[in-house]
Copies of this chain bind each other. A is one copy, B any other.
Amino acid sequence: MSAPMLKPGNTIGILGGGQLARMIALAAAPLGLKTHIFAPAGDNPAFQVADAHSSAAYDDLAALEAFARTVDVVTYEFENVPVATAGHLESFVPVHPGPRALGITQDRLEEKSFVAGLGIRTAPFAAVDDEAGLEAALATVGRPAVLKTRRFGYDGKGQVMIREGDDASAAFAAIGRHPAILEGFVPFEREVSVVAARTADGRFAAYEVTENEHRHHILHRSTVPADVTPAVEASASAIARHIGGALGYVGVFAVELFLVVEGGEQAVIVNEIAPRVHNSGHWTLDGAVTSQFEQHVRAIAGWPLGAVERLGRVEMTNLIGDEADTWHEVLAEPGAHLHLYGKAEARPGRKMGHVTRIRPEA
């Protein structure tokens, strides 16, 4: 369905009940919009701040229809929503981003092929359907390389590095012998990302490039501005604009990039696309005129996009597992902004919250 413009008083349906849905709901409220969260039973902290919630499986068509009939647009907080779910919902109500963006980005091979097909640089890659295919792929891509399941990977899950001398067969077993993609290892200097928004009628706005530091494959800290050249800033924004346009994308999305230095010049290589608000954009909550969450709401509502200017030098640090126990120290630190996600249990590796710190421009 095409997207009529939302009005205050309307309701946004969100698939998924985690912190991203929660922060979208918190951003929707000041714009006069209600939210209805749909998520399977479990710890769904987004329920705490939404006008309504439904607990059912993503393949419960009757529950999805009942949900769709109470909302004016549907969005989602993660790319592993079944495409069939998005398609079913779309027969009742606009779904943004649409099933096409979802289908492409939830399969690493399709995504890489799509990006490369736009003439945008990615790591070398090859499909791996079986063990023989892995040997062939290694011959093409070389070592070291990273073997990743095509689907359902996040935060380093479902991937394994294959170095010189490593046993390819063991690596394929390690990822459960699922259909996979082999990606050539990129000798990157740093990891950066660009978070951007696009509307149905093609308006576009990108935040400044964010520099990201990972620990154990999980984002630890984002810093803005990134230590990149103006050419990289322009290139990252252009890449996001190109990808967003080619996907007919509506909403906020992130493009994760490898920053490489070649012949003394910085350049970027696309790592992956996240069709949703993104952890590396959490700094915008306190550090930009418009947060990525409000921006996403504006985009899917068909409204004007907000200003993306930065409010200072910003650092966003995730609180993983028991790091959230430092909440009181954060509260006592002048100018630090605490964001806790309302999760019941602080399991190791679980994102429990984040902290934003803003310093004046140097």
Binding site for B on A (CB under 8 A): 8-9, 22, 25-26, 29-32, 34, 47-51, 289, 298, 303-304, 306-307, 309, 311, 324, 327-328, 331-332, 334-335, 337-342, 344, 353
Contacts and interface: CB of A to CB of B under 8 A. Distances in A.
Given A30-B339, A303-B331, 13 more contacts: A8-B327, A22-B29, A26-B26, A26-B30, A26-B49, A29-B48, A29-B342, A30-B337, A32-B342, A48-B51, A49-B49, A289-B334, A311-B311
Nearest to A303: B331
A332 B304 contact: yes
B49 A340 contact: no
Given A29-B22, A48-B51, A9 B304 contact: no
A322 B50 CA distance: 26
Contacts of A48: 29, 34, 51
11 contacts: A8-B327, A22-B29, A30-B339, A32-B340, A32-B353, A34-B342, A49-B50, A298-B331, A303-B331, A304-B331, A311-B311
B49 A51 contact: yes
Contacts of A328: 303-304
A306 to B, nearest CB: 8
A63 to B, nearest CB: 22
A246 to B, nearest CB: 27
A189 B303 CA distance: 41
Contact of A29 (B26, B337, B344): B26
Contacts of A51: 47-49
A31 B335 CA distance: 14
Contacts of A324: 8
